[in-house]
Structure 1
Amino acid sequence: MASLTSMTKRYHHAPYPAISPSNPKNNQAGRTVAITGGVQGIGYATARAYIQAEAAGVILLGRTSQTLQDAAASLQKIAKSTKVTWHVCDINIDASIEKFWDYVASENIYVDILVLNAASAAHGPIVPMLSKLPLLREMFYANVCGNALMAARFLDQKKESTQAQTLVNISTGSIHCNPAPHQALYSSSKAAFTALLQHVADEVESSTCQIVSIHPGVVYTEGMKRESHPDLAKVAVFDEVDLPAAFSVWASTPAASFLHGRFVWAQWDVEELSGRKQDFEDQGFLKVGLQGTESLDVASLFDQIRKKDAEANGTS
């Protein structure tokens, strides 16, 4: 099998017809999407992509009302039929999350699609560990617990659509980078939530809610400019911000149902991926797990152990 970074022969840095929001096959008419971290970067581009795909409603979520209001006003100018609204929702604060979902329920708003884009990011050494534990708790609280509460309230809505919900988790390729110097805090928390969602997908049928985690690519956002080395822009090959945005729209269509519970890169060609159905028969394919060995079905774990013991002892 090809390496993860070359999972498909075609590798994209920008949107292409199969995932384009203007492709009629990716149309999102009649659906409402909520996007955390929606005021800039990937979140803002994702909102714009759903508008291009003719979503009925786009709800921007973020921490400050003024930036949300400005972003919503800017997006509404390009929207033909989409209603763009905003709501303060901080994934670091449970009460803020609960307030948002209580609001949509009170307004009889049904969220068909949830894009979890907001995250806490911190880089640097994890050793000495004792001094980094407060920051570790903070990262896990936002990136795992906060996002889990968002997902839980999303799934707990009263069903008002015959079409499956979609949950798109904007994860990161660093969850499977080894080694990943100074990434322990961020990548471990993002890996934990990605793993959590794949287990949720084991219990939720894709016909109920389609769950896909994606690595958005290397996008030179304002956040990256602030946190990265000044010379990074000179040596790196960046992906267009519209690539993960368009991929998220495509991931919200029935065509992406085979990716339920999986982790994929936005750069991988979706038509090639969909042609590899035999690989997806492995329930561990493109999921967080142990490298270097086949995936394991927990239901048959003890049967396999007994079989191996019998073979080793020369008995049947």
Structure 2
Amino acid sequence: MSDFIKSLPSWAGTTFTKKTNSQVPPILDPTKVTLPKPFVAIVTGSSRGIGSGIAKCFAQAGATGLILTARTQGSCAKTEDECRRVSPHPSSLKISTFYGDNGDEAHATAIASLIETEHDGKLNLLVNNAGFLLVDGTAFEKVADINCPNIEAMTQTCYVGRFYMTKHLMPYLLSGAPDKLRAIANISSVGGHVSGPLGYSISCLATNRLSQRVDESYADQGLCCYAVHPGAVWSDGPKEYLPPRMKDFSNDSQDLCGSFLVWLCKERRQWLSGRYVDATWDVEELVQREGEIVEGDKLKMRMVV
């Protein structure tokens, strides 16, 4: 954990468990997990970084179907090859790729059609990962000095696009047998709790609330929905215009989030649904605190009065 993360106040949640991880611990090893068959997952923004790591971890755990999305045509090829390489059953792993703008509703409806035609309408897991931190260096300035795309483009991709995907893929998540695993993992960030790039912070906070609302709407149908901080990871290295305090932000493995999500979604964890969780948290301690979390209705967004 970086010094910047350690310096955050307790209500940022980074130290909710006494022990935290920067690398994948043995208990989260996805190769030790066998997912039920079939198990189909879609990972948006999976051409690199955290998204690529998530896709790879579910391949390692035996997913039978993966849908990889990204903005740039052909950019998921490396992730696809890696998923086939690490899968315990590569010949039975169906991988589809789709390219487009995550902030466009037509992108979500086209993916819904792809699920229907290429995966027989089956879907167990939606990972809403596609997003970005900022458009330019004014993202960190005072409100009147922020260039508008840092708000407009950010919220369109990182929040509205996630709503589109959730809305249009929901029928496939809800279909099937009552005991089918069905979940949504919305990649959020500690940035939703602390001061940072305004557009990014707003999107993360909205993502947390979206996750809570989905749980309120569909928990009775067996759907779990989580908002997940993936750890501190720069997909392409820190940008030159980042404030000095954030240059040391990233020192977590890009595979940590994927391994955590395999643990989170390999079974129905209704007690964490609708809540904000952190991939760096120690899962053994987290499980021990289930009663405290449920009884105190912790890890949710609300005003303290």
Answer yes or no: same fold by TM over 0.5. yes
Match of 1:118 in 2: 130
Alpha-carbon offset, residue 255 of structure 1: 5.7
Alpha-carbon offset, residue 103 of structure 1: 2.1
1:76 corresponds, among 84, 95, 98, to 84
Match of 2:7 in 1: none
Q: 1-side partners of 2:164 and 2:104: how far apart?
A: 10
**Does 1:145 find its partner at 2:160?**
yes
1:257 corresponds, among 254, 266, 270, to 270
Alpha-carbon offset, residue 134 of structure 1: 5.0
Match of 2:29 in 1: 20
Match of 1:297 in 2: none
Indicate the larger mover: 28-37 or 243-252: 28-37
Q: 2-side partners of 1:193 and 1:236: how far apart?
A: 21
Alpha-carbon offset, residue 264 of structure 1: 1.0
The number of equivalent residue pairs is 285
Alpha-carbon offset, residue 231 of structure 1: 7.0
Match of 2:182 in 1: 165
Q: Which amino acid in structure 2 is aligned with residue 269 of structure 1?
A: D
Structure whose alpha-carbon radius of gyration is higher: 1
CA distance change for structure 1 residues 189 and 16 in 2, over 3 Å: closer, same or farther?
same
Q: Which amino acid in structure 2 is aligned with residue 50 of structure 1?
A: F
Alpha-carbon offset, residue 92 of structure 1: 1.6
Aligned-CA RMSD value: 2.5
Match of 1:175 in 2: 192
- Give unpaired runs (5+ residues) of structure 1: 294-316
Q: 2-side partners of 1:27 and 1:139: how far apart?
A: 34
**Does 1:11 find its partner at 2:20?**
yes
Alpha-carbon offset, residue 207 of structure 1: 5.3
Alpha-carbon offset, residue 41 of structure 1: 0.3
Q: Contact (CA 8 Å) 2:276, 2:300: kept in 1 or not?
A: yes
Q: 1-side partners of 2:58 and 2:241: how far apart?
A: 29
Match of 1:38 in 2: 46
**Does 1:52 find its partner at 2:63?**
no
Q: 1-side partners of 2:271 and 2:253: how far apart?
A: 25
Tell me the secondary structure at the aligned position of residue 33 of structure 1. Answer: strand
For 1:121-136, list aligned pairs within 5 A: 121-122=133-134, 123-128=139-144, 132-133=147-148, 135-136=150-151
Q: Which amino acid in structure 1 is aligned with residue 15 of structure 2?
A: S
Q: 2-side partners of 1:88 and 1:60: how far apart?
A: 8
Render the CA deviation track for 1:8-43: whole Å, top value 9, x for unaligned: 12111112233221223x635420110000110001
Q: Contact (CA 8 Å) 1:206, 1:257: kept in 2 or not?
A: no
Tell me the secondary structure at the aligned position of residue 67 of structure 2. Answer: strand
Q: Percent identity?
A: 25
Match of 2:69 in 1: 61
Alpha-carbon offset, residue 75 of structure 1: 2.7
Runs of 4 or more above 6 Å deviation? 230-234
Alpha-carbon offset, residue 215 of structure 1: 0.6
2:252 corresponds, among 224, 239, 262, to 239
Match of 1:248 in 2: 261
Tell me the secondary structure at the aligned position of residue 252 of structure 2. Answer: coil
TM-score (norm 2): 0.84
Q: Contact (CA 8 Å) 2:41, 2:66: kept in 1 or not?
A: yes
- Give unpaired runs (5+ residues) of structure 2: 1-9
